[in-house]
Structure 1
Amino acid sequence: MNRRYYCLFVVLLFIIIFNRVIAAENTYKILFIQSYTSQTPWHADLTSGLAKGFKDSGLKVEITTEYLDADFWTFNSEKVIMRRFCQRARERRTDLIITSSDEAFYTLFSCGDSLPMQLPVVFFGIKYPDDRLISNYPNVCGYTSNPDFAVMLRQAKKIFPQRKDVVCVIDNSFLSNKGREDFKDEWEIFHQENPDYKMKIYNTQQETTNHIIAAICYPRNSYNSVVIAPKWSPFLSFVGKNSKAPVFSCQNVGLTNGVFVAYDTDAFASAHLAAQRASQVLQGTSPSALGISKLDQEFIYDYRQLEYFHVNQSRIPAGGIIVNQPYWEKYKFLFILFYSSILVLLIGSVVWLVRVNRRESKRRIHAQTRLLVQNKMVEQRNEFDNIFHSIRDGVITYDINLNIHFTNRSLLKMLHLPYDTPARPYEGMPAGSIFKIFYNGEEILRDMLNEVATTGNRVVIPKGAFMKEVHSENYFPVSGEIVPIHSKGQITGMALSARNVSDEEMQKRFFDMALEESFIYPWQFDVAINSFIFPQGFLVHFGYDESITTISRDEMDQMIHPDDLVEMSRIFDKALTGDESCARLNFRQRNATGEYEWWEYRSSVITGLTSDSLYNILGVCQSIQRYKTAEQEMREARDKALQADKLKSAFLANMSHEIRTPLNAIVGFSDLLSDTSAFTVEEVAQFIATINKNCGLLLALINDILDLSRIESGTMEFQFASHNLSLLLKTVHDSQRLNMPQGVELVLCVPEGDKKYLVTDNVRLQQVINNLINNAAKFTTSGFITFGYEDDKDPNYTLLFVEDTGVGITQEGIEHIFERFYKVDNFTQGAGLGLSICQTIVERLRGTISVSSEVGKGTRFTVRVPNSCE
């Protein structure tokens, strides 16, 4: 009997092992249906968890993932899509179906396809399991993760004790409605314990979007709120990312989409357990035997949300998971350990390299010391040669017997001799073998060497000396000096340093000629002594002695025009502080005669040891008075041209009007006189008088135009002779008294018994008096027009006047009264030229004309002329 049981046990064991071997060798085809999309944050964790679970179980599987996208489609559309999934799975000969979340599972069994009844189905992530539905299908097993809103509310209270407004956001979906019922049940219990808390439910498909956003996203409404999301939706993804209140969800799909914390199972762990249970089913275990298990849930926090709401990680309960954490925060210890290891490795490497380098240095020093001891004399000589070869000036040394000892490359280049030979090709040759020095036609090289050898003092090659190449007969100007070489207190040789100054001399000559021709003078400002330095003789122009070349800045300021001193000082101070590297200053300086001239100073700053310290300021200066004078002349010429153009326009405008007015009267009344039978004798006489009057006006206007033309062209002639002033004025009185308006009397006023004579042009003087009287008659309707003369304070001058009792002139009119074409009253006859012509004639007579007036009382014109105008 015992043997029989033993044999049966062996057979069963063999069958189980055989099935496992067969299962391990087969590749199973798995259909994995996700409720949402591949963009779900935990999509990668779900697929990797499944793959890891099957691998740990030792099964080879081929997983095909389908995405239901339940947040986008309606339930009817989901069933259509699910049927397509089933059809494709049937074509692939799928062995097992795994579903994630409620939507995928319930849609699978509601789509009407028979495949879920034929194949084993493993589910996980179901929040609200339908026990009656699941009990009807023995081929179904899996894991649930039921929401616990009581835990979530307690957690919200613990982390955010000051936020006491709970906002529940739902929609019309199955899961959301189930969550709402569950939440309400838990809320009743929580609210009894916490009566100061308030709750409000928003349905995203019933409430307006703006209303929900305002309640959650506006800080003024959400600072005291927390948000509970029984089911995550695309709308909540938008709201969560902009929410100013922390969001608590029972689905981990909301993490990284704005959820502060999700109370759910870990996606990877859930998928891993589901894969292991599926492996058991594929290996022969009945799904009904495995049944349904509830997974433990935990709080999963979003690191960025913790940072946003300033929640310290120490306030998170033990066992909480933090996701979306930066690598540095997540693996801080590993980073510190890694960098510490690298630092230790670097320090060790540096220490090792230093020790190796020290050993190598010691070895190298020992070898170099031995080499230096052996070649000390050769190295000293080479060092001497290298030093002198690096000097830019030509250098040659002689021994005490005036024989060449050494020549550097610069000297050989200057003499156009080969300089690439390593040895000393001219050593031992006597002085003068390769070059000679001439001054005033005499060779002076040996004499200078002997003087240095004898006295021990340096000798400077005289200015104007030339160095002559022995091999080519070429020569060039040279400068330099000869110095003694001492050793142990004795002169052992001489060293000559020389430089070809032909280019410098030519540039100096060119520069001197340029300065002489352009009158440009160099200057510099010595910062140390705060003084300007000029070329000799330059300051003579400003009243200094010829020997003075330096003046202080205060003396320079005294020469500058006061109006220019402030701006010049400001710009120069900026140059002194280093803020202005190059400047151009234009200002006036007082010369030796006391007059101011325009000068332009240009400066360039040489910086010192630091950027804010100066070494020197260099510059050039030039007199620009002729440019300023030309500029002023051009400006005056421009003003005159503009004035001439203005006068021309005014002349044409006035003449077109003034000439047309009398011509119209002349032409009109002349036409009337063609038939005198229609008019009386008095009317005909009046017509003739009007024609004569307008002819007189036209003649006067033409005379004014001719006078103006003669004035402009400078052809107005003046004939000076001695005239009796009283008789001249009497003539004017006799000619003008008959032309006075009715009610106006012309009065001549001269000193009684005075017989004054003037040397003047009587025609032009009468023209001035007549113009002034005619002008007064236009504006005087009653009273007197008085004219005459009187003595001036100066016995060499006489005052002539014309005074009326007319309407007078305003102050503004007085300011413009002598301008051409200016008329106080535009309705009066005349072109506005008379007073301007009077002023020009009076000025030609070397006199002045002025006016004084009072509105309503009259006007007085005064002409002051010399007794002799010649």
Structure 2
Amino acid sequence: MTFVNFKYKYIFIVVCLLVTFLCGYNFKRWYITNNRTHKYISLIYSFSENGIGNGNFEELLKQEFREQGIEPIFNNFYLDCNNSCQKVGIENMSNYLETIKNKPIDLILTVGDQSVNSLLSTKHRLLSSIPVVACNVHFPDEKLIKEYETRKIYFLRDTPDFKRNIEFIKSLQPHKSIEVIYNIDLTPPGRQSFDLLTHIVDRKNVRFLSPQSAFTNEFEYKEMRQMIEYYSLMPAVANNKKEDLMISLCPFQYIKNSSLLSILDRSKSDQEKRVFLLDKFDLAVLPTVKTLNIPSFSCLHRGFGEGANIVGGYMATEEISARAAVNLAIQLFNKEKIGIVKIRDLEKEYVLDWTCFSAYNDYDIKNVSSNVRIINYSFHDRYRKELYFLIGLFILAFIVISTILLRIYRHSLIEHKNLNILQEAHKRLTLSTDGGQISLWNMHRGEIEFDDHFIRLTGLKQRRFTQTDLLKYVHPDDLQLLDPYNETLYKSPSIQILRIRFCFNDKNDYHWYELRCRSLTDAQGETMLAGIMQNIQEVVEREHQLILAKEIAEKAELKQSFLNNMSHEIRTPLNAIVGFTNLLVESADEIDQDEKKSMLEIINHNNELLLKLINDVLEISHLDSGNMDFDIKVWDVTKIIKEIYFQYQSLIQPSLQFHLELDETMLLPVNIDRSRFIQVISNLLNNANKFTQSGYITLGCKIDQTRNEVCIYVKDSGKGIDDKELMMIFNRFYKSDEFGQGSGLGLPICKVIIEKLSGRIEVYSEVGKGSCFAVIFSIANKGNDKN
């Protein structure tokens, strides 16, 4: 606990220090913002107000001053030296100084050579009282500077650096020879600039392009000629020698426009390796350069990034100039001792304008060094490869995620479908076992466990018993049957059946139950018993009724024959019940749930059919009197035919092919007694199975649209019936084979039932090819209810 408190104490201290620092920093910024000192500054430009070159220099100055706690108030003056001579410029500057002499000016800040030269040439008295900062002066006038040696006039020099600019140009196209076009002029700054150029390049690689005929003035040509001879340069129109670097001198200001275009207009291969290098901002040169589409580089920041199509260069940018000017101004405002350094060189940096750079296909961003600052570099261009990679990655991820989600969705659909199938199957199994009064059970290590249906079957809430506990519910007369039954179960793996009476209530009301089970081996290799328990009280009662009916029928020969036939009819559903029950017991673990449900449904249906047939035994005497009961409803014959087909698949001889001809999508509503109808079709199938030795049996259904009738038929490839027998097969007690099984009442009963259902029965047969028995009904109205 002490350690925890110790740790939290230091965390609290660190948090407090961090909050204190942030508060102090924000307070300082707030204080500086709200307590700035106002300073009046005369800002003098060498060029015009609306011309190219102003840039954002004034805004940058404001930002720098404000960060230093000063709110600058500018008084701007534009000398416009491009449209006036030096004398006019000095006069305009004198007039401007007269207008501000009575104003509280704290500093004079000039931009460019012309503005500072004109300012110093006025020799105005303000220059002795107001400090002056001359910014971006390319070639300071040393004579004027000496005249103001004791005054607070300081220069920020921006001398062109030809060496680094040429190296920068070559680095952008390292595998090409470069021709640098240089604008040479006869002005004093032009002569000084050209002198700097001759000191950093090999004079053998310098050539003069313009012949005498191209000049507009012969005097200018002579002066240019003298200047070239002074530097040992000879005129040259062409140079076949391939050099990595060639400096081409072209006096743009002194030659005719047509001659200039003809000189510079060369082949495309030469066009791609040429660049234009500016050492001064000359508005007369830019249109020609733009027309020829030559990449322009500059040693000076003026015009860079202002739509002058300057690609870049090594220069003192506006940000550097503004920062240096403000720092120097702050020292003057604070009256710091500046020292004797009157001229300070501005720092420079490599810069590129991406808008202009990307317009030329010859340049590759890979050649741009990391120390180059790029302006107008859009996020898309800067991170093009990364964006394409991210887009591709996003598309791939989208496809992968979509595929995974689709597979998950499909899997969920399948699981949902399977769950619905299982739920439906469980529902049907529950209905089947509940309707059939069946309960599943197993016995392991002397303990018997029943399923949930046992509760509904017996009324007991207990489902788990020992053998001793279960014996108290057994009828005393049946106890002696259990010991040999158990012994046989453990010795024989086959199904064992036992009928026994149980009483699960206090009324001493015993019911008959049938136990069907077999021995199994579990996963641990131990023997266990599994089977079903079914309430057969109704079956026993029916059997008892059948016995009584048989005893009564034995009194007359006719009734005796009739009962024999009924026993044949009763055997069919009993066989289905016994057969499927045996399958459930023998292969309980091997049969899936769908098949179990289907089998249990068949057992349940045959229980109902058996009950109906036993009742028919009691009511057979009413056939002639017309007192037989029929439960006629609208049924879909398609479903009933399908159910009969599945029921008889296992009952038809294995040597025969059993076919179903039925359109399962068709709805065929018919007014029939379902159990009576199944009885008729079952009789026809039994006959076909009995009299067909090889080939096929087909159960089918078709519709006659013209008559609005449905025909249900049983067709076989048996021995067939001749014409004489066809006239007698529906007579009672008629049998084609006197010694064959059957009472001879099957077909007559079928005929009577069909006629009672308002239908008709027809037969078509050919000896040696087979027979077809057809039952025909009218289709019920579609408005009736369907079961």
Normalising by the smaller structure, the TM-score range is 0.3 to 0.5
Using structure 2 for the length normalisation, give the TM-score: 0.40
Highest RCO, 1 vs 2 (Cα 8 Å, sep ≥ 6) = 2
Using structure 1 for the length normalisation, give the TM-score: 0.37
